Structure 1
Amino acid sequence: MSNLVSADAAAIIAVAFCMLMGALAVFQAALIAGVPIGQFAWGGRDRILPTRKRIGSATSIALYAAFALLVLQRADLITVIPWPDFTNIAIWVLAAYFVLGIIINGISRSLPERWTMAPLCALLAALTVLVALG
């Protein structure tokens, strides 16, 4: 690891990242359950998500778990992936994914989605970069 972020700081940041992933997973689970908060996701067109978007929400939960494992591994808190080079590249791909999320959510026609998810993606991108630098 580089020394730009201490190991202790990277660990704390990784845990904060995982807490946000957990909160997003709960949000996606609520969407799957039919809670009428769809204006905050998937373009905001459906308050209650149709089946196709609920499947997307379930896929998102699985991705959030994978993202959390990657960040925890990069912070040296767990070892799941036996290839450190893969982890070192994947963490930057994940950061780029969140930067793309800032853009996509920032141009959403849904104001609730734009004003909640774009800043959340910015925070997740920042946390991911900090762990990557750790």
Structure 2
Amino acid sequence: MTVAIIGSCLLGFVALLYITLALGFPLGEFAMGGADRVMPKKKRVACAISIPVQIFAALTLLQAGKVISIGLPDTVAKYICIGFGLYFALNVLMNLMSKSNKERFVMTPLAAITAFSLLFTAFHM
């Protein structure tokens, strides 16, 4: 349960970051390759689309960790967590290859902890 709460808080933090990016705040060095200080319009749309995805991942993780129920069958919540966990594991590799120090040193460990939280919770339901 604690791991699910930590992971969902990190997902919430990322959702907040993406809200600021979608609104045009100059934090682009933390995301999407870190090439743009302020996200161009196409990337802002991508940021906006990812916000509900991040929130859904956080809520699913909380259900898998038996903290709340969002009405998903446990098996479905487990596989969604595995899918998101694998996505964030891939995200770790992508962040490590970023040219942005901010993305490499901040977002890489954040993605790693999130991936661990999702996978650990899925396999310990």
Quick check: TM above 0.5? yes
Q: Distance in 1 between matches of 2:90 and 2:37?
A: 24
* Shift, 1:70, TM fit: 1.1
Superposition pairs for residues 1-134 of structure 1, below 5 Å? 11-134=1-124
Compute the TM-score of the two structures, normalised by the length of structure 1. Answer: 0.84
The answer (yes or no) to whether the contact 1:81–1:87 under 8 Å persists in 2 is: no
Q: Distance in 1 between matches of 2:3 and 2:21?
A: 27
Q: Distance in 2 between matches of 1:114 and 1:133?
A: 28
Compute the TM-score of the two structures, normalised by the length of structure 2. Answer: 0.89
Q: Distance in 2 between matches of 1:127 and 1:23?
A: 14
For the aligned residue pairs, the C-alpha RMSD in angstroms reads: 1.5
Percent identity, please.
31
Deviations 1:66-103 (A, max 9, x none): 10111011112222244322222222112111110011
Paired residue total: 124
Q: Distance in 1 between matches of 2:6 and 2:72?
A: 24
The runs of 4+ residues in structure 1 deviating greater than 3 Å are none
Distance 1:54 1:76, change over 3 A: same
Higher mean displacement: 119-128 or 86-95 = 86-95
* Shift, 1:47, TM fit: 0.7
Q: Distance in 2 between matches of 1:87 and 1:26?
A: 23
Gaps of 5+ in 1: 1-10
Q: Distance in 2 between matches of 1:19 and 1:91?
A: 15
The answer (yes or no) to whether the contact 2:64–2:121 under 8 Å persists in 1 is: yes
